[in-house]
Amino acid sequence: MSFEAWTIFVVFWVVFVTTPGPNAVNCISNGMSLRFSKAMLGVLAILTQAVLFLVLSALGVTALIAASPTGFFVAKLVGAAFLIFLGLRNWRNASTPTPAVERPARHVYLHALAVAVINPKSVAGYLAAFSQFVQPDVPIWQQMGVIMPTALVLTTLSYTGFTLLGMMMGKAALKAVFNIWIRRGLALCFIIYGVLLGASSMPQAEVMR
């Protein structure tokens, strides 16, 4: 990969991982309700999904998924239902005081991984990355040595930033009413993302992450 192609890829990936979506909302929510070390498990889960999707993209599996209307339709409905469920549950629990006992680390990680994986629109971002930036005349795994570290570093920085934003919002939410409406706003984001996902078409160039 040439330096010019790498620079364009960096710009593409920065936009990809900084555009607010379910992952960003989940990181903000974790930052508000958990200590930093545990909230970062959500970022680790997103990185797990990123590695998985990057490898699958390199193998061409995600292209097959996106090319299957039935598979995409089922994945889309499951993902939409899951996001709407999360939104409704979080809205209902917004006025309930946060339990003194924190969520287990495994729950934080698996919850974030589920949010990251069930959104089939993410596939579009990885497909776009490989269709636009991978050179067909260069061995794919040689290019992965550049693409994967770049993507993972930028992903880590972005979602760590969202987590820190959540921590700052949590500290600012000193009044119970303000805290409730922040939590309801985040819940509403999940519902909106779920509705948009359910109404979406086959993944093209646009992404939601």
pLDDT (0 to 100) of residue 144: 84
- What pLDDT score was predicted for residue 173? 54
pLDDT digits (tens, 9 = 90+) for 175-189: 554 566 666 776 777
Task: For the chain, give the percent of residues with pLDDT over 90.
Answer: 22
pLDDT digits (tens, 9 = 90+) for 71-126: 657 756 765 676 677 678 767 766 665 544 467 899 999 999 998 887 666 766 67
| Average pLDDT of the segment spanning 47-52 | 93
Domain assignments of the chain as residue spans, ordered by start: 3-198
Q: What are the C-alpha distances in Å from 142 to residues 4, 8, 58, 128, 154?
A: 17, 18, 11, 19, 20
Residue 174 has a pLDDT of 46
The residue ranking higher by pLDDT, 99 or 22, is: 22
Query: Which tops the pLDDT comparison, 29 or 97?
Result: 29
Measured in degrees and rounded to the nearest 5, phi and psi for residue 202 equal -60, 145
Per-residue pLDDT band for 193 (boundaries 50, 70, 90) equals: low
pTM of the model: 0.71
pLDDT digits (tens, 9 = 90+) for 109-168: 999 999 888 766 676 667 666 666 666 667 778 878 888 999 999 999 999 999 999 888
